[in-house]
Structure 1
Amino acid sequence: MTDDVLRLDAVTFRRNGREILHGIDLTVRAGEHWALLGPNGAGKTTIVGFCAAQTHPTTGTVDVLGRRLGRVDMQELRRHIGHVNPRHPLRSPLSVLEVVLTGFTGTIDMAMRWEPSVGQIARARRVIAEVGLADRAEYVWPDMSQGERGRALVARALAPEPDLLLLDEPTTGLDVAAREQLLETIDSLARTSPEVASILVTHHLEELPETTSHAMVIAHGDVVASGRVHDVVTTDVITEAFEHPISVGHDGGRWSARAIRTEFRHDFGTLDRR
């Protein structure tokens, strides 16, 4: 019996006659925590669309939770996938508890003619506490900070106990304190939900949680490197993907990146990298 949660084999994707992805291979297993890295326009969002069972590849195969896209009810499959999108288009004054409960129905607002069970309410309150919002369960969406919204969306994604968690640039719009709080919440999932596989999409290395175990770096629709995070997130790989000399650092479990300064030495007529 396989423990593969997600598998992409030789996946390509074309839009308006242009090929955006060129033969992507990716296998994510239960309990692994992947980062999907690359510059803007690299194809990260397209790959997430496959992982979220929202789009089909042009060629190649995508298996999500043991079911192949094109042969499965996509809506039913999405109920088993937790998706954290910081651009969640909610406008209604739902409370934190109500936002989390929408994770059971996969809707933006509370579903009409649907009442949560006692067990679902208990589960929602449990994950709200796990993300540090127990004392704010009655806060309403329009009055919440971006950091509180981010943690509420993580709880919403976790409420139905998914097998796969997708975090699509989850720290977008957060200040430093809110970002760090959200990353602490994501790191805690390795303890509270150890069997759940996750994929976090970003182009900022400082936004990688400490629990990141694997990474794929893509550029121009091609895989630059994929595998164990310490083998992939390196100065050479990141420099190649972002097409700029970038020095990658790792300290205390967290990653950093800074440009390698290149100056022209007039006296020697050579490049001096500092």
Structure 2
Amino acid sequence: MNQPVLTADAVHVVRDGNALLTDVSLTVHPGEHWALLGPNGAGKTTLLSLLGAHLHPTEGRVEVLGHRLGRTDLRGLRAHIGHVNPRHPLRSAPRLRDVVLTGLTNSVERPPRWEPTRQDRERADELIATLGLTARSEARWPTLSQGERGRALIARALMPAPRLLLLDEPATGLDLPGREQLLTALDALAAAHPRLATVLVTHHLEELPTATSHALLLREGRALARGPVAEVLSGDLVGACFGMPLTLSRADGRWTVRAERARPTDPSARSGRKTVPATRHT
């Protein structure tokens, strides 16, 4: 039976009298790859904190991996969720493989007296290969590019074989080659682990892997639209989410977006293509 990996039902989050999320619902099944999209302050990070068992809702129900928040030990639950934070607080210079192996100990540094098993090392090498980093597995952390570090942290998050992977703006700070390598690696990951569910937070549609199957649009703490990307990622809905008329296009599974140009006043100057300004959908 295809039980959900996570469910958020009519969730409200209020902090210091401010509503950060209002009546937000989301259900993610195994093998689905969700994008959380919206402008700054839309509530994306707050929602990801709920899904990663770092935060309780003020109202509503959140179940992650079959455990309801408020009725389970959050620390124990977090050990079964892969959470990728690109701001990993490393201060030493470990090798890339050792950083990946710390996914098993849930520690920033490798514990002094802990030794991985042969199976642990083989799994680390398999994930490093999937993320396209085999040639850099012995490289020291300070010598890695930002993109290589991001992919290494994804491999680290996958070491405990989680059913859910959360990615908080994984392309932040990457140059064009780094971004493309990251997205290629995420698509390879989806192919290699067909039951893995992912939730990726971003501001930019260009940063969505081709494997992205569903999207949730957030604006001012409310869900504007949710569902399969073919239904949700349209010019009018995304334009309403970001507060400006937009045109979206998709080629080979990748998205591009641009702002609509103002309509010409001279009918003879029109290109002949009809454009529709974005309207707010609720």
TM-score (norm 1): 0.94
Distance 1:106 1:49 in 2: 17
Distance 1:84 1:262 in 2: 40
Cross-structure match for 1:84: 84
Give the superposition deviation at 1:146.
Answer: 0.6
Note if contact 1:91-1:142 (Cα within 8 Å) is conserved in structure 2. Answer: no
- The residue type paired with residue 252 of structure 2 is G
Cross-structure match for 1:177: 177
1:255-270 maps to which residues of 2 (within 5 A)? 255-262=255-262, 265=265
1:228 matched to 2:228? The reply is yes
Cross-structure match for 2:122: 122
1:161 matched to 2:161? The reply is yes
Note if contact 2:13-2:57 (Cα within 8 Å) is conserved in structure 1. Answer: yes
Cross-structure match for 1:141: 141
Note if contact 1:12-1:60 (Cα within 8 Å) is conserved in structure 2. Answer: yes
Distance 1:253 1:209 in 2: 8
> Quick check: 163-172 or 255-264, which moved more?
255-264
How much is the aligned-residue C-alpha RMSD, in angstroms? 1.8
1:124-183: CA deviation from partner (whole Å, max 9, x where unpaired): 111111111112111111111011101101111111111000111100000001100000
Note if contact 2:2-2:30 (Cα within 8 Å) is conserved in structure 1. Answer: no
- The residue type paired with residue 99 of structure 1 is V
What fraction of aligned residue pairs are identical, expressed as a percent? 53
Give the superposition deviation at 1:225.
Answer: 0.3
Note if contact 1:216-1:226 (Cα within 8 Å) is conserved in structure 2. Answer: yes
Q: Secondary structure at the match of 2:110?
A: coil
- The residue type paired with residue 257 of structure 1 is V
Q: Secondary structure at the match of 2:92?
A: coil
Aligned residues: 271
Give the superposition deviation at 1:113.
Answer: 3.4
Cross-structure match for 2:254: 254
1:211-232: CA deviation from partner (whole Å, max 9, x where unpaired): 1111100100000000011100
> Quick check: 102-111 or 31-40, which moved more?
102-111
Note if contact 1:7-1:25 (Cα within 8 Å) is conserved in structure 2. Answer: yes
1:92-103 maps to which residues of 2 (within 5 A)? 92-103=92-103
TM-aligned CA distance change 1:129 to 1:2, over 3 Å:
closer
Q: Which runs of 4+ in 1 moved over 4 A?
A: none
Which of the two has greater strand per residue? Answer: 1
Distance 1:217 1:112 in 2: 44
Segments of 5+ residues of structure 2 without an aligned counterpart are: 276-282
1:110 matched to 2:110? The reply is yes
Distance 2:116 2:78 in 1: 19
Note if contact 2:187-2:211 (Cα within 8 Å) is conserved in structure 1. Answer: yes
Give the superposition deviation at 1:114.
Answer: 2.5
Note if contact 2:225-2:237 (Cα within 8 Å) is conserved in structure 1. Answer: yes
Distance 2:98 2:29 in 1: 31
Distance 2:94 2:149 in 1: 11
- The residue type paired with residue 225 of structure 1 is A
Cross-structure match for 2:17: 17
Give the superposition deviation at 1:115.
Answer: 2.3
Distance 2:2 2:146 in 1: 38
TM-score (norm 2): 0.92
Q: Secondary structure at the match of 2:103?
A: helix
